[in-house]
Amino acid sequence: MPKIKICVAFLLLIGCSGVVAQRLPDADQVLAQVNAQASEQDKNVLLVFGASWCRYCKQFEKFLAAPEIQPIIAKHFVVARLEVYEELGRNPKLNNPKSDTLVRKFGDADVGGLPFIVFLDPKGGLIVNSNRPSKGKRTGENIGYPSAPEEIDWFMVMIKRAAPELTENDAAIVEAWLRKAAS
């Protein structure tokens, strides 16, 4: 009887290891899927590059999930997430394949911090990214999770560019949430 239990446990372990070994979808697949969904829904894309070790990424996720924010974001955007720079947390297997190439394509050439936030049109064209214009930096400086006043200001510029039909009331809700969380 114990041999049967050991064999069953071994088979379960082998079966489960296949699940763990499955690859994450590559960045191109994620982008193609989200662009199709955005086109179908007549929305733009909010693409967030993050990492499991990034506390600011977790703060941005909390912002996106907040009950007063989530409906505003959902009204205007299809949200997608890609894991990138996981090697910095010593776990590169968590990266979406090709996410490093895609994050550079959209403007994070210097690993300027995470999250790196990108707004795209439904065809994948860049509307704006989280690189706030900065003196002496050609590509700007990534705001990451917007918590400083100038970062919140840039995030509001970003969201208004990406969702020109955003009402003043909804914009005020987003800005108030960020400013309250920063205090």
The pLDDT, as a whole number, for residue 110 is: 64
pLDDT tens by residue, 124-160: 999 999 999 988 777 789 999 999 999 999 999 999 9
15: tokens are 């079966």
pLDDT tens by residue, 10-21: 334 334 444 444
What pTM does this model have?
A: 0.86
Where do the domains of the chain lie, and which CATH numbers do they carry? 45-182 (3.40.30.10)
Segments in 22-92 forming alpha helices (H): 27-41, 55-65, 70-76
The pLDDT, as a whole number, for residue 125 is: 97
Residue 55 has pLDDT above 50, yes or no: yes
Mean pLDDT of 23-35: 94
* Element of type H or E holding 79: strand 77-83
